[in-house]
Amino acid sequence: MFVIRLPNGNLLVPESAMSDGGQMMADAYVEIGPGDADYARFAASALTEEEAAEKRRQWQEGDEPLRRQFLDFLARGGHPGRGQGAGDGHGPS
């Protein structure tokens, strides 16, 4: 997740919601303005909405070869969540 600079100058900052037990429940964005104590620190690395969209697009393009390799693995009888040798006596089950 990125820090995103909005057209009005505010920032969307990633924040995780945690359970009482300390487990992460969800990721979300919170909007902060220049009056926030952490604004300057977050603003230094903020991206515009367009820059964030471009980074996501580049990641998706970079993920495509891995996705094709995974689909080929499944087509050859692989099972997600198990190693290639799982259940055939040639690897951990």
pLDDT digits (tens, 9 = 90+) for 6-16: 999 999 998 88
**CA 53 to the chain's CA centroid:** 13
Closest CA to 46 of 20, 71, 13, 24: 13
User: d(Cα 35, Cα 19) in Å, to the nearest integer?
Assistant: 28
Q: Mean pLDDT in the chain? A: 83
36-66 per-position pLDDT tens digit: 999 999 999 999 999 998 988 888 887 788 8
Token couple for 40:
């300057």
pTM for this predicted structure: 0.58
The domain locations on the chain are 4-75
